[in-house]
Chains A and B, each alone.
Chain A
Amino acid sequence: MSKRTSKPTILRPTRRTFLAGATALGTAVLAGAPLIGRAKADEPRKGGKLRVAMGPGSTSDSLDPATYWDSPQYTAGFTIGNALVEIDSQKKPTPELAESWDSSADLKKWSFKLRKGVQFHNGKSLTSADVVYSLKRHIAKDSTSAAKGLLSSIEDITADGPDAVTVTHATGTPDLPVIFGDFHLTIAPEGFSDWNNFIGTGPYKVSRFEPGNVLETKRNENYWKPNRAWVDEFDLVFINDHTAATNALLTGELQAVAQIAAQTAERLKSRGGFNLIVSDGAATNHLSMNSQSKTFSDPNVRLAVKSAVPRAEMLKFIGRGYGVVGNDHPIPPNDPYYNPNIKQREQDPDKTKWYLKQAGLSSLDLDLHVSDAAYSGAVDSTALFKEAAKPAGININIKKEPADGYWSNIWLKRDFVVAYAGCRPTPDMMFSIFFQCNAPWNEGFWCNDKFEKLLLVGRSTTDFETRKQAYWEMQQIVHDDGGEAIFMFPSIIDAYAPSVAGVSPDGVRTMMGGRVAERAWLSA
């Protein structure tokens, strides 16, 4: 789990989420809710206590941003602190603690101007020294920060007077502001280290933190963002058991549960009265093939496998319809850089047979390693795949592995595994983390010269059209040649009690990208 935290994705409202919202409204009207009352409820109001359940949490959790490993931890981070940059609903970087930014022509030197008049919870004013301290912790030589890899190309971060910082990037990137929207990069006062009493600039102050149990906070009356931080108190309850979290929502112990299972969503829907927020394109479910192994070194074999995956059934039975089918590349359809011109690959036994023949094979026996650690329903999805692949001449032997240690002992170690990857906010991140030649997480052990060249093109400019062209072509290359059969982008579903307002599906991942505390309010 800790291996692969998904990275921010912001989503535009999709047809389905729009419909869900419309249906909810319709139900409310049918239920006789007076329209005037509704209009009033839509006005943000202060007050109340909001309790949100998220998982997974662990007793070894810390509020130190360098240790955040999944959504509950960074939601805590954005409740207490801010980053320089906020990623908006279109996956675009927008100013948070940085008021504006600028770069040199080669995209190597970046200057961030800090917002003035921002104070920490202890009354200290934010200065560049705090920012430099908070960011440099991650790139220090002996740093064990989870963001060290993300910042590996950053050479230096220095103060430029009290209200600006300068960042030097080794090779230059147009996505530097997106990087600084990462949840590990929340800002603390210079020299701060008492992390379980984290003092930030954010909407809520820590009143009690019990790792793996609860974070209790009270509103920061001095919060610098206007029209934010509505509720008086915000509790983040760490719950690992999905059923317990759902029960607590049903009984009114809590007002929201993050990342509920698709089955649970159906139950809540049939029960009615709950607000389901569906965010698409947040992660991939896929099969990884080691393209340097004997079996998969022939691209025809990889294509045979890709053509054997029953994508529609996977979405229907594993995702219960909450998601979109994948097309063997990692860019979801709601991404601004998504290439709509690539034909959707479908399950086709004849094609599989044809590709196998091209590879000189009449049938293929494969060991597929799987655990539900990959994603919920992973083991079931291999059973579906096995049955679908059999008539096409691919015999799957399912190897069920223990969940504990799946990411360290099986993933990247076996030639054919089931996996998931959290979508990153930019195609560059997604491609360089999972597809760039020799990247540590290159699951397909795949290298392609043309792809590498295009990756550099995408990094060389801030011009949208040029980058789009490069990314479109890269999606095609990965679709045709890559070592991953990406069959599904499962959706994230958050459930809210009807009293919670101000929530939207277009957040950065779950719980509006961890910013639920400052955005939501409780209607009377």
Chain B
Amino acid sequence: MHQLRKLILIRVLLGVATLFVVSLIVFLAVQLLPGDLAQQLLGQSATPENVAALRAELGLDVPAYIRYFDWLWGILHGDLGRSLAANREISEMIAPRLVNTFRLALLAAIIAIPVGISLGIAAALFRNTIFDRAITIVTLAAISLPEFFVAYILVMVLAVQLPWFPSISRISPDMTFGETIYRLILPSTTLCFAVIGYIMRLTRAAIVNVMSEPYVEMARLKGIRPWKVVIVHALPNALAPIINVVALNLAYLIVGVVIVETVFVYPGLGQLLVDSVVKRDITVVQAASLIFAGVYIIINLLADVLSIATNPRLSRSR
């Protein structure tokens, strides 16, 4: 276990270093956006003096590297800063949307991960049968369809034709837990379409790969039932790649859902990021990007640690 702890420590330090690099890249990328907030805010009434005055007021006249270190210093003290366009604390803007984004991602993950893995196992178990081909085709088709298309089809069928679900996912704090979940069914189903295919395909491949190992053959020769061979013998050794694909898809569910947010009018973090880029609200763009990067890094870190933990060989010193 000592080895594992050391490994985790190294990965965490590397994660922090990655975040630092990301912060630098984000800051530089934002500087490259044409025009700035002062111009955007003043619009047509922008005279050079006007723009200069507003820039000074917003602190945009300070050299970029000083602003970067100010910003970094703030972040290190847990202060995300203030939105320049909305003049509100960024943490106050991001917190409720972050909760919404996590809620949707979690619901989608709760559906997609078990379904994806089970389908993958089933496909591996019955590989090269009609069943295997059928779910392969269906899940691949689901991946290939753009999200907005899936979303609109779901809305058309399940909200407009059959009035079972609301077509937009407006939620408010006074709704019950059940109602909130009910309103999230369509967007999370849309997201499931996008990720189940990957999870299923990779689970299947990983298990099929393990199934050709001699010890599996041994288990079979012992007369163990096929499904037990898969669950007890093959699956544990196929977990590492499965954990990785699940992690990648989890990250996608959190940072890549702006289209689903738009179609279902769901107030998540993606829309906030898009709005802020359009408005050149750089402090919010920086904060949101950093949070996304942090989420990616944490999830990948977890995935690495988990796959190492499930495979003792990987944590042995070489």
User: Shortest beta-carbon distance, A145 to chain B, in Å?
Assistant: 9
Contact between chains at A146 and B272 (CB < 8 Å):
no
Question: Which chain B residues in 141-183 approach chain A with CB under 8 Å?
Answer: 152, 155, 159-160, 163, 166-168, 170, 172-173
Contact between chains at B172 and A212 (CB < 8 Å):
no
Contact between chains at A146 and B265 (CB < 8 Å):
no
List B contacts of A196 (CB < 8 A): 88
- In Å, the complex CA distance between A259 and B286 comes to 33
- In Å, the complex CA distance between A241 and B39 comes to 26
Chain B window 22-53, contacts with chain A (Cβ cutoff 8 Å), 1 for yes, 0 for no: 00000000000011000111111100000001
Chain A window 511-524, contacts with chain B (Cβ cutoff 8 Å), 1 for yes, 0 for no: 00000000000000
- Is A253 in the interface zone, CB < 8 Å from B? yes
Contact between chains at A59 and B34 (CB < 8 Å):
no
Contact between chains at B44 and A4 (CB < 8 Å):
yes
Question: Which chain A residues in 133-161 approach chain B with CB under 8 Å?
Answer: 142, 144, 146, 148-149
- In Å, the complex CA distance between A347 and B51 comes to 43
- Is B267 in the interface zone, CB < 8 Å from A? yes
The size class of the interface chain A forms with chain B is 35 or more
| Chain A contact residues: helix, strand, loop or mixed | loop
Contact between chains at B40 and A2 (CB < 8 Å):
yes
Contact between chains at B43 and A146 (CB < 8 Å):
yes
List B contacts of A243 (CB < 8 A): 152, 263
Within the complex, which residue of A149, A213, A244, A248 is in contact with B267, where a contact is CB–CB below 8 Å?
A213
- Is B275 in the interface zone, CB < 8 Å from A? yes
Contact between chains at B83 and A60 (CB < 8 Å):
yes
User: Shortest beta-carbon distance, B127 to chain A, in Å?
Assistant: 41
Contact between chains at B163 and A214 (CB < 8 Å):
no
Contact between chains at A253 and B166 (CB < 8 Å):
yes
| Closest chain A residue to B88, Cβ basis | A196
Contact between chains at A405 and B35 (CB < 8 Å):
yes
- Is A341 in the interface zone, CB < 8 Å from B? no
Question: Which chain A residues in 383-412 approach chain B with CB under 8 Å?
Answer: 404-405, 407-409
User: Total number of A-B contacts with CB less than 8 angstroms?
Assistant: 104
- Is B85 in the interface zone, CB < 8 Å from A? yes
- Is B87 in the interface zone, CB < 8 Å from A? yes
| Chain B contact residues: helix, strand, loop or mixed | helix
Contact between chains at A59 and B272 (CB < 8 Å):
yes
Contact between chains at A253 and B44 (CB < 8 Å):
no
- In Å, the complex CA distance between A346 and B85 comes to 45
Known: A58-B275, A247-B160. A144 touches B42 (CB 8 A): yes
User: Shortest beta-carbon distance, A451 to chain B, in Å?
Assistant: 21
List A contacts of B160 (CB < 8 A): 247, 250-251
Question: Which chain A residues in 237-254 approach chain B with CB under 8 Å?
Answer: 237, 239-241, 243-245, 247-248, 250-253
- In Å, the complex CA distance between A409 and B275 comes to 19
- In Å, the complex CA distance between A42 and B239 comes to 67
Contact between chains at A247 and B86 (CB < 8 Å):
no
List B contacts of A149 (CB < 8 A): 44-45
Total residues of chain B contacting the partner, CB 8 A: 44
- In Å, the complex CA distance between A266 and B222 comes to 70
| Closest chain A residue to B45, Cβ basis | A149
- Is B4 in the interface zone, CB < 8 Å from A? no
User: Shortest beta-carbon distance, B35 to chain A, in Å?
Assistant: 6
Contact between chains at B275 and A59 (CB < 8 Å):
yes
Question: Which chain B residues in 240-283 approach chain A with CB under 8 Å?
Answer: 262-265, 267, 271-272, 275-276, 278-279, 281
User: Shortest beta-carbon distance, B55 to chain A, in Å?
Assistant: 11
Contact between chains at A60 and B275 (CB < 8 Å):
yes
- In Å, the complex CA distance between A210 and B97 comes to 10
Known: A144-B41, A241-B262, A241-B263. A60 touches B86 (CB 8 A): yes
List B contacts of A2 (CB < 8 A): 40, 43
Contact between chains at B271 and A212 (CB < 8 Å):
yes
- Is B291 in the interface zone, CB < 8 Å from A? no
- Is A208 in the interface zone, CB < 8 Å from B? yes
Contact between chains at B54 and A244 (CB < 8 Å):
no
- Is B70 in the interface zone, CB < 8 Å from A? no
- In Å, the complex CA distance between A251 and B167 comes to 7
List B contacts of A60 (CB < 8 A): 83, 85-86, 275-276, 279, 281, 284
- Is B61 in the interface zone, CB < 8 Å from A? no
Interchain residue pairs with CB less than 8 A apart (8): A2-B40, A58-B279, A144-B42, A149-B44, A237-B168, A239-B265, A248-B167, A250-B167
Given pairs A60-B275, A146-B43, 15 additional interface contacts (CB within 8 A) = A59-B272, A144-B54, A148-B45, A212-B271, A212-B272, A214-B172, A243-B152, A243-B263, A247-B155, A247-B168, A250-B167, A251-B166, A253-B167, A253-B170, A405-B34
